[in-house]
Amino acid sequence: MKRYVLFLLFTIFFQAPKGEGKEVYIFVVSPMVSPNITIATYQEFVRYLSAKLGKRVILKQRHTYIEVNRMLANGEADFGHVCTGAYLAGHKDFGLTLLAIPVMYGRPYYQAYIIVNSEAPYRRLEDLQGKSFVFTDPLSLTGRLYLLYRLKRLGTTPEKFFERTFFSYSHDKSIELVAEGVVEGASVDSLVYENLLERKIHFISKTKVIEKSPLFGIPPLVSSPQSDKDFRIKVLKILLKMDKDLEGKKILKKMRIDHFVPPRPELYSYANYILECSL
């Protein structure tokens, strides 16, 4: 009993402050592209953060944005990279926090692209009435929510407008399904689409863009509301200096990121408006 009391007193008075004793951090990613591409893209990034933090950082991926947000909400993940729709939903539901914003292709913005097969006669969204359509994820701004907003403006819903719809759970998979003629239309992330164009992936030439949305705030890096403030500050400092570090710059180039900028909530005002209108 005496030993137990001494142990209890020790744990109460000498345990490390919150966050300081943590040796492993979890970085979680959303399926913005297929799993194999995501792991290849983020693995070096995570190793770089581990080295700079002096702590182990583990990369985890979940199949849906809802699963990713659940991990961030309950503290199973400390930080991550999510789509804009998932960030806005998480911010509203459980206080998901902006950590840093990537700048890609010279700007912190992206768009939704509505695409069809390159051989198809369709020239605008209205031409897809009665056709098949693939969404990316229920929480995806570019892969679903923008399309819901557009249809609402037309006075209709996906159930009434399309013959059938389903989810692919990855933007590149949606693009490939359109290219192969499995489905007639899709709404996808412009960053993923442009990346496939840049890399000259074979199926991208079989598609064409018939509509581009207005600009939205780019998918951000976020932190769990349960993460330690000092940890968030350390990670932000590392990210802001990453483009000035030789190794960091090489990794950013592979990720198609120019550099990171501090949190700017105002970038997400219009996307939040789309989210509210689409519900």
103 Cβ contact partners less than 8 Å away, ≥ 6 residues apart: 218, 257, 258, 259, 260, 261
Based on the domain organization, do 183 and 232 belong to the same domain?
no
Are 242 and 248 spatial neighbours (Cβ–Cβ below 8 Å)?
yes
Type of residue found at 222: V
Residue length of the chain: 279
Residues 117, 93 share a domain: no
Q: Whole-structure pTM over 0.85, yes or no? A: yes
Q: What is the CATH number of the domain that holds 246?
A: 3.40.190.10
Tokens of 173: 């998979």
CB atoms within 10 A of CB 119: 9
Give residue-wise pLDDT tens across range 9-52. 333 233 434 445 588 999 999 877 666 667 888 999 999 999 99
Write out the residue range of the structural domain in which residue 233 sits: 22-105+218-265
- Listed in sequence order, the residues at least 6 apart from 30 whose beta carbon sits closer than 8 Å to its beta carbon are 61, 62, 65, 68, 80, 81, 82, 83, 86, 137, 219
Mean pLDDT of the chain: 91
Judge whether 194 lies within some domain. Answer: yes
In a domain, residue 279? The reply is no
Q: Check whether 272 has a pLDDT greater than 60.
A: yes
97 and 36, same structural domain?
Answer: yes
- Domain tally, the chain: 2
Q: Read off the pLDDT of residues 253-263 as tens digits, 9 standing for 90 and up.
A: 999 999 999 99
Last residue of a domain, one of 184, 213, 242: 213
Cβ contact 263:101 at 8 Å: yes
